[in-house]
Amino acid sequence: MKKLGMSEEQIRISRREAWIGVGLVIFHFLWWYGFAYGLGNKPVEDYQYILGFPAWFFYSCILGFIIIFLFVVFFVKIFFHDLPFEEEDED
């Protein structure tokens, strides 16, 4: 079963990498949503502040960005592979 000139191994690797990407997106959304609506669901007078930002914003947007950036770098370096886009000649 060949799709777009890709071998079975390339298809398997591509699917695995796509699922890793989907998992990272879901993790990032849950992180953001949990902190933004978990800590940000109080009156403004009750907010705690970190570096001048409300704690919910700091954890969801600033720290969340740093964490997801590090996760993406880690996963790309460890689990992703270079795949050639050129078609292989079959003789």
Confidence of residue 90 (pLDDT cuts 50, 70, 90): low
pTM here?
0.77
Least confident range of 21-25, 37-41, 44-48, 87-91: 87-91
- How high is the mean pLDDT of the chain? 86
Report which of residues 38 and 16 the model is more confident about.
16
Q: Is the pLDDT of residue 18 over 60?
A: yes
Q: Scanning the structure block, which residue is given the tokens 């689990």?
A: 79
Confidence of residue 85 (pLDDT cuts 50, 70, 90): low
- To the nearest 10 degrees (0 to 180), the angle between helices 64-79 and 8-39 is 170
